[in-house]
């Protein structure tokens, strides 16, 4: 790669980051207004609609890889993204502010996060996810989502927000305002997804020019790139005081990635992986259990704990890019 091409790719990354931030702000503000209008909690919105929306890059990459017979790339993207979401994104968010956590997130969704990770690890234990296993995984995700909606209607939890929690402007319940919110919601999500796509492409090109292997790229750079929507939304949501959406987005995305996305991909075409994928799955399992225990212990994630999680992800990246681990 020539120096001129490298400069162009770096420029694409910078523009993509800007697009992610603008899109995330529009998405968060519109989603919060819609949630309040319909009486739906921010945590539930983050766990479902926002989580599935920001996980669209993982869905596209994994399904494409599955249909092309590249199971390792597809699974590596899912597992790498989940590790990045928990360790780096939640860790980075906690460095901005100590994260207080709702009781429902610790007990209900923390348990769902651990169980979904264990189920995914069990499905990958023989290094193959069959079509039947994929259908079962997808079915579990549908059941979990239905349970969230039912629980929201019967016993809505109180959203955890900071005193300066805000959304741009007080929006009356009129048709034009609803239309504007819908436009901001769709437009913000589209901008986040498109920016994330270009960031993945540019970062992957730069990495390949440096001689980094495809597996390492899939488990680190591409995984982080497809998780940039989650990072942008979670950071913006936290800075604007919407803690439930910030944390729920990460937890919901991880559950959707393992159950929904891996299930859909395997149903379309069985996924086969190698030993490197199993190593990363074990790493993810440990990170998930430790994260939930950290949240359970004090119903919050401190800056010190967040810094340790960020360091763990930096270590995984370093070991992966040096071909020592995963």
165 pLDDT more than 50: no
**Segment 55-80, tens digit of pLDDT:** 877 887 788 778 878 777 788 889 98
Percent of all residues in the chain with a pLDDT value above 90, rounded to a whole number:
23
Between these two residues, 85 and 298, which has the higher pLDDT value?
A: 85
Predicted local confidence at residue 244, as pLDDT: 75
- pLDDT value of position 153: 66
Q: What is the pLDDT of residue 307?
A: 92
- What is the reported pLDDT for 122? 95
pLDDT in tens, 284-322: 999 999 998 888 876 778 889 989 999 999 998 888 777
Distance, CA of 229 to CA of 11 (rounded, Å): 19
d(CA 184, CA 245): 17
Q: What CATH superfamily is the domain 42-158+212-325? A: NCX, central ion-binding region (1.20.1420.30)
Helices (H) and strands (E) in the chain, counts: 17, 4
For the chain, what are the domain ranges? 42-158+212-325
Q: Cα separations (Å) of 48 from 15, 38, 127, 136?
A: 28, 15, 29, 19
Average pLDDT over residues 275-281: 80
pLDDT in tens, 106-127: 778 889 999 999 999 999 999 8
The residue to which tokens 């690890």 are assigned:
121
- Between CA 186 and CA 33 the distance in angstroms is 14
């Amino acid at each position: 790669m020539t120096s001129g091409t490298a400069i162009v790719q770096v420029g694409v990354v910078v523009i993509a980051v800007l697009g992610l931030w603008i899109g995330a702000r529009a998405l968060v503000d519109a989603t919060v207004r819609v949630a309040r209008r319909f009486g739906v909690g921010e945590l539930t919105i983050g766990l479902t609609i926002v989580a599935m929306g920001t996980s669209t890059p993982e869905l596209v990459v994994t399904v494409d890889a599955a249909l092309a017979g590249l199971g390792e790339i597809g699974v590596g993207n899912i597992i790498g993204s989940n590790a990045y979401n928990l360790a780096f994104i939640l860790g980075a968010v906690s460095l901005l502010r100590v994260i207080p956590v709702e009781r429902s997130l610790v007990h209900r969704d923390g348990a769902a996060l651990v169980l979904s990770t264990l189920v995914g690890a069990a499905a990958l234990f023989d290094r193959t996810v069959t079509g039947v296993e994929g259908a079962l995984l997808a079915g579990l995700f549908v059941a979990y989502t239905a349970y969230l909606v039912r629980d929201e209607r019967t016993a809505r939890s109180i959203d955890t927000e900071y005193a300066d929690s805000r959304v741009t402007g007080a929006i009356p319940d009129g048709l034009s305002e609803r239309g504007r919110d819908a436009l901001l919601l769709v437009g913000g999500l589209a901008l986040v997804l498109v920016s994330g796509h270009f960031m993945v492409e540019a970062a992957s090109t730069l990495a390949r020019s440096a001689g980094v292997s495809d597996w390492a790229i899939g488990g680190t750079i591409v995984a982080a790139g497809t998780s940039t929507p989650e990072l942008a939304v979670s950071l913006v949501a936290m800075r604007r005081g919407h803690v439930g959406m910030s944390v729920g987005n990460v937890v919901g995305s991880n559950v959707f990635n393992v159950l929904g996305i891996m299930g859909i991909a395997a149903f379309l075409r069985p996924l086969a992986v190698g030993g490197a994928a199993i190593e990363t799955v074990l790493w993810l399992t440990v990170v998930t259990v430790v994260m939930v225990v950290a949240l359970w212990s004090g119903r919050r994630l401190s800056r010190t704990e967040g810094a340790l999680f960020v360091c763990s992800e930096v270590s995984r990246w370093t070991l992966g890019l040096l071909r020592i681990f995963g």
